[in-house]
A and B are shown apart, each in its own frame.
Chain A
Amino acid sequence: MKPPRFEYRAPSDVEEVVGILTEVGDEGKVLAGGQSLVPSMNFRLARPGLLVDINGVKALDYIQRSGDRILIGTLTRHSCLENAAAVPGPLGRLLATAAHHVGHMPIRVRGTFGGSVAHADPAAEWCMVSVLLDAEIIAVGSRGRRTIPAEDFFRTVFTTALEPYELLSEVILPVLPDSARFGFVEFSRRAGDFAIVASSVVIDVGSNGIINPRVALAGVGGTPVRARSAEAVLAGSAPSAELFRAAADAAAGDVEPMGDIHGSSEYRRHLVRVLTRRALERAASEA
């Protein structure tokens, strides 16, 4: 569990990072919190010839509000978001709940939001939240900046729309209205493990029933998944136990999970049903 030989550079601004990435192409890899990259190097699953350490690029570490959007700098550590006050309103509470499910404290102190999104583990909380909220992911390359919608960003396991020469610089999330409520439920064998399945929902209940329902799932395939048929079941209906059950059933139909030693495809689909119902119940009962 010793990595193969690699070079190491530690630039101090974004331009320099992008310059190096462009210059070295496939050989280069960004080093953010290192909580996924370093273990994969030690297992010799990742073999970058050059590590571009962005921890010294202070300009990438921020949480900002811009109108009705929240901009999260790629270097924002998981632990910063555990504080619900870091982001206003229900979004702050949602992010804090999700953050708390990411690994263990030492991992949260070091690991980064952007690193998790770039890594694209299909069970990762931030990837699911990005899909849940239709995040915009900002990639910076030598030819400038582009915005990638979350649903187009995640391609399959550990694979994204990012080019090797691009830096993920920021993730943009919409501020949620104060009336929005969320539910976030995970099932894992041990606290701190990647979820076997996670389900997250956001609903807003108006006089005409549920508006803008969002349901997203993790651990159910190559990427996080939006459960569109579950959302269709919820939209415009009044919250009720039966409705939530029907939506959860629909969510189970929206996925084609892959099995591994912690859960077969069939079991994961079952968990989608259970956890989505629970997430909805939690959202409905959120104060």
Chain B
Amino acid sequence: MTLIGQSVRRLEDRPLLTGEGRYAGDINLPGQLHMRLVRSPVAHGRILDVDILEAVDLEGVVAVWTGADVSAIPPIDFRQEGLTDLYPYRQPILAQDVVRYVGEPVAVVFANDPYTAEDAAEAVFVDVDDLPLTLDATAAPGSFDGTHSTEAAVVRTTYGSVDESFTAADKIVSVEVTVGRHTGVPMETRGALATVEPSGSLVMYGAAKVPHYNRKAIAAMLGIDTDKVILREGHVGGGFGVRGELYPEDVLVCLAALRLRRSVKWIEDRKEHLVATNHSRDQHHRISAAVDPDGFITAIRDEFWVDQGAYIRTHAATVPNLTMAMLPGPYLFPSYETTGHIRLTNKTPAGTYRAPGRYEATFARERLLDAVAHELGESPIETRRRNFIPKDQMPFSRPIRALGTVIEYDSGDYAGILDRLLEHVDHDALAAELAHRRRGGEAVGLGIAFFVEKSGLGPYEGARIQVDTEGAVRVVTGAASVGQGVETTIAQICGDGLGIPHDRIAVVHGQTDAIDHGLGAFASRVTVMTGTATYLATQELEKKAKAVATHVLEVAPEDLRLVEGRVEVAGAPDRALTLGEIAARLEPLSASGMGLEPELAAESWFTTDHMTYPYGVHAAVVSVDKETGGVVIERFVVAYDVGRAVNPMLVEGQIVGGAAQGLGGALLEEFVYSQDGQPLATSFMDYLLPTATEMVAIDVLLLEDAPSPLNPLGVKGAGEGGTTAFGAAIAAAVDDALQKPRAIFRLPITPERLRQIIHGDYPEEGAAPCK
């Protein structure tokens, strides 16, 4: 073991930094058409007419389609957590009769260049008769389509004896909290280029995240054979949950390539992106704790509302289900009940975003624990310690399922990581310093929030390793890369197993014609799943290499060692064969002479029905300008245990990037809608992403105290823990700065809202205990 644990440079960087990246926008084919969507200008209404006459007549326009032209194509199906109740709410690729949000595709234009396409799209006139709007997911449900309610489903999770615990409680503490609507905004917008190859195969470039699933889904929707559809992933400029899911535009470029027999390209622009790509979060929780006389929380009762937007897209009930499954977090909570209302509104449809369900649930739970601490008159740290799942109860199982698995925490030392964090920040000294500054008139405070993440979702992933006669190594996997460093990480694991440098290893991912099965890049799964498959494949490959060396060197396999890419005789390292030489011996004729299959190659599949559960703590120090309501983050620490870090630099990068997104949701980013359902944050002037100036240097405390027992490498996923508790920690820090418990009950904390809170004239219902 030499490469695992090393912060080696990324293999991806060379092409990206030398301008050789191949993003969706970089790929062009001769004679390609450009697609442009006509999007609904109103939030809800019946389509009276879509007038395309003027658009069709423009020079350079090849076709214009409306809903009628694609009415035979079924709506987009669920990829994950599909409930039959949700079927009526799926999105058609172009609106049929009714539009349900501003930005919904109503018609589509194909033209010879993108400028003409945009001119033509503008010339399409959509006449809509307004229908009543639903913009509040917590109000009484109405009608979605005359038949179905805007409450698509009510999901429930419960265990233990909640009612009894609340009856017997010494204290009941409640909070009502909201996480606003925001989402992942990758630097690269979505894009796709579809073409029909001479072989008759439909090829789509610009795939990401889940190419194998999408291949099947596209084939099914278009009524063609799956093996006639090929998806190719290039470089991907960020995924974050939103990019790579199947959207109407992907299906439209494919359908157009088939119908028009031309290559068809679509690149989303930023204004579209902010209304067309999945939104996320937007949850409202009413949550209560039953507390016994010892200050132990015996039960949690929660009810929440998810503003799903206008349709239910590929993620179906994923976010509400993860919210329910992960809400209990690191605490024992012997009894638990939660009820989630999946509500349709006239906003952009929502899906998963980095730490889906956990950012929201962590905010609700940690705000509640802070309120319990306040009620008990103790430090929030004490409350947490008392309720932690003790280390000796690991693995710890809850009778809850999510993503087809039972929630069973594989390993963890929650009290331990809290101690490590407190020591790292020198907690008592820090608290004293902040108290001193507060006495001097400053509004500064510290907030701490705990979280448990989930990662490494199965059920399978594979890796095929192949060594050529020059000793060059190729790993092929069906997993995908959304820019998180998959190539480097997998090459490190492979190189570690074979004793060769990682930069001699090429990693192929996201190509449906290179491997038949692959589940993709989401749920922080690739290092756990593909990484383990790769590790297992190196062991298979080693066996085969030794079998060859046994023949050639006439030494028993037990006396052979794989060292630095050579199989050598133990005790006589001069007697050796390189992996390249072994590959040469495995040309078909001599391989059969040895009774072996040709080629130095091995393939392994790792299967699992349990996820891994990394965990951590976020600590924030903030100062508040009490006059303006502005918040400055002075310091932010993320302590995160990922079991084992294959490349600590990459893990740290994941944490810092994730933290920036957590910050955005906590202080800046929000999709605001007007009363008539118009989105008001449709450019970067109004949708405020954090920039380098707002971002604080993240102090990362990367821990490997609790390796996962579920895979031989001990790894857990690292993609989301920088995000999860950010909002909760900032809220606690602002409360502390103001010395006003329960002050913050809503994200993002905008200056205007905060100033209203400080001055006690917040117009909405406050964080007061709910009934």
Binding site for B on A (CB under 8 A): 1-5, 43-44, 187, 189-194, 196, 260-264, 267, 270-271, 274
Contact = CB atoms under 8 A, between A and B. Distances in A.
Chain B interface mostly: loop
B269 A267 contact: no
A274 B271 contact: no
Contacts of A190: 668, 688, 690-691, 693-694
A235 B668 CA distance: 40
B51 to A, nearest CB: 19
Nearest to A273: B627
B628 to A, nearest CB: 5
Nearest to A267: B752
B680 A2 contact: no
B688 A189 contact: yes
A191 B689 CA distance: 11
Query: Most chain-B Cβ atoms within 10 A of its Cβ — which of A2, A191, A270?
Result: A2
A4 B752 contact: no
A260 B690 CA distance: 20
Contacts of B122: 4, 44
Contacts of B628: 187, 271, 274
Nearest to B686: A261
B325 to A, nearest CB: 34
23 contacts: A2-B114, A2-B115, A3-B115, A5-B115, A44-B122, A187-B628, A189-B688, A190-B690, A190-B691, A190-B693, A190-B694, A191-B691, A193-B685, A193-B688, A194-B685, A196-B751, A260-B680, A261-B672, A261-B681, A261-B686, A263-B752, A267-B751, A267-B755
B119 interface: yes
A129 to B, nearest CB: 22
B10 interface: no
Interface of B: 114-115, 118-119, 122, 269-271, 627-628, 630, 668, 672, 680-681, 683, 685-686, 688, 690-691, 693-694, 750-752, 755
Contact of A43 (B271, B668, B680, B681): B271
User: Which of B122, B271, B628, B755 has the largest count of A CB atoms less than 10 A from its CB?
Assistant: B628
A261 B118 CA distance: 28
B627 A43 contact: no
Nearest to A189: B688
A192 B271 contact: no
Interchain residue pairs A-B with the least CB separation, the first 5: A191-B693, A1-B269, A267-B752, A274-B627, A2-B118
A21 to B, nearest CB: 25
Contacts of A43: 271, 683
Contacts of B269: 1-2
A1 B688 contact: no
B270 A191 contact: no
B198 to A, nearest CB: 32
Contacts of B680: 260-261
B693 A264 contact: no
Contacts of A271: 628
A43 B630 CA distance: 31
Contact of B270 (A1, A4, A194, A264): A1
A108 to B, nearest CB: 14
A43 B683 CA distance: 10
A150 to B, nearest CB: 25
A51 to B, nearest CB: 15
A271 B751 CA distance: 11
B688 A264 contact: no
Nearest to B117: A2
B252 to A, nearest CB: 19
Nearest to B687: A261
Contacts of A274: 627-628
B633 to A, nearest CB: 13
Nearest to B753: A267
Nearest to B752: A267
Contact of B755 (A44, A191, A270): A270
Given A43-B271, A264-B752, A267-B755, A191 B694 contact: yes
B119 A4 contact: yes
Contacts of A196: 751
Contacts of A267: 751-752, 755
Most chain A CB inside 10 Å of its own CB: which residue of B119, B627, B672, B680: B627
A160 to B, nearest CB: 21
B747 to A, nearest CB: 15
Nearest to A266: B752
Nearest to B690: A190
A192 B752 contact: no
A211 to B, nearest CB: 29
A270 B683 CA distance: 27
A192 B683 contact: no
Contacts of A4: 119, 122
Contacts of B668: 189-190
Nearest to B119: A4
Given A43-B683, A191-B694, A1 B755 contact: no
B623 to A, nearest CB: 15
Contacts of B630: 187
A113 B755 CA distance: 34
A182 B466 CA distance: 71
B622 to A, nearest CB: 15
Given A2-B114, A191-B694, A261-B672, 6 more contacts: A1-B269, A44-B122, A192-B693, A260-B680, A261-B686, A267-B755
Contacts of B755: 267, 270
Contacts of A2: 114-115, 118, 269
B752 to A, nearest CB: 4
A3 B122 CA distance: 11
A2 B122 CA distance: 11
A167 to B, nearest CB: 27
Nearest to A197: B628
A44 B119 CA distance: 10
A153 B416 CA distance: 66
A270 B690 CA distance: 25
Contacts of A5: 115, 119
A280 to B, nearest CB: 14
Contacts of B693: 190-192
A189 B750 CA distance: 8
A282 to B, nearest CB: 14
Contacts of B271: 1, 43
B182 to A, nearest CB: 13
B730 to A, nearest CB: 15
Contacts of B752: 262-264, 267
Nearest to A3: B115
B265 to A, nearest CB: 14
A267 to B, nearest CB: 4
A7 B76 CA distance: 43
A123 B271 CA distance: 23
Contacts of A1: 269-271
A287 to B, nearest CB: 24
A46 to B, nearest CB: 14
Contacts of A264: 752
A36 B752 CA distance: 27
A164 B122 CA distance: 26
A260 B630 CA distance: 17
Contacts of A191: 691, 693-694
A263 B668 CA distance: 13
Contacts of A189: 668, 688, 750-751
A106 to B, nearest CB: 12
Nearest to A187: B628
A109 B658 CA distance: 31
